[in-house]
Amino acid sequence: MLDEPTTSVDSAARRQIWNVLSKLFREKKTLEMGKFKLFYFASKGRGQPIRLLLHIAGVDFDDVKVTLKEWKDIKANMPHRRLPVLEVDGNLIPQSGAILRYLGREFGYYGSNNVEKTRIDVISGAVDDIIFLMERLFYNETVEAAKENLKKEMVSWRLEEFLDVMEETLKENHNGDKFFVGDQAKFSL
């Protein structure tokens, strides 16, 4: 940590200068990092948790909402040929989970120790399982009868079981009074 400078400048001016320098020092990481650019469709989907984490962390980013026509043009140049993709200093990071873990580590939202990080991964995996089922239900062009069967499966046991497990998991941390992991907000899919 920097010590306060001693100069012949009056104390009020010195304090003001010191406050500006301290703020710049604290924000060094953000100042050194390039601008973030998130590529995703105009829908919420798998891009929304990334947007939320960037907003919570107070990070300035370009939210590039890709149209279907644009997607056809840029798909071949995107890693894994899928969205979302986060661009950081010219580097493209694919996969929503990888992006969230990257940002969580960068900005302190990914657990303070290995146990917390693993717990976050477990919760993220469970959420991802449900999202996968919902995507099959809402985004795939399947036969209506198959959609109806999937909908019944989701409502009858998968969603109920998922919510029960999530409630139990929440209660394991501070009896469910705070967060899933630790004493402050962390990311999860």
Q: For 152-167, how does the pLDDT look when each residue is reduced to its tens digit (9 = 90+)?
A: 777 766 777 777 877 8
Q: Is residue 66 in a domain? A: yes
Q: Among 84, 107, 130, where does a domain finish?
A: 107
Q: pLDDT at position 14, please? A: 63
Q: Are residues 15 and 54 in the same domain?
A: no
Average pLDDT in the chain: 79
Beta carbons within 8 Å of 38's beta carbon, 6+ residues apart: 47, 50, 51, 54, 61, 62, 63, 64, 84, 85, 86, 87
Q: Among 81, 107, 133, where does a domain finish?
A: 107
Q: Is residue 68 in a domain? A: yes
Please compute the mean of the pLDDT values over residues 89-97 and round it to a whole number. 92
Q: Among 107, 129, 158, where does a domain finish?
A: 107
Q: Is 185 helix (H, G, I), strand (E, B) or coil?
A: coil
Q: How many domains does the chain have?
A: 3
State which of 1-15, 50-64, 157-171 shows the largest mean pLDDT: 50-64
Residue-range definition of the domain harbouring residue 15: 1-26
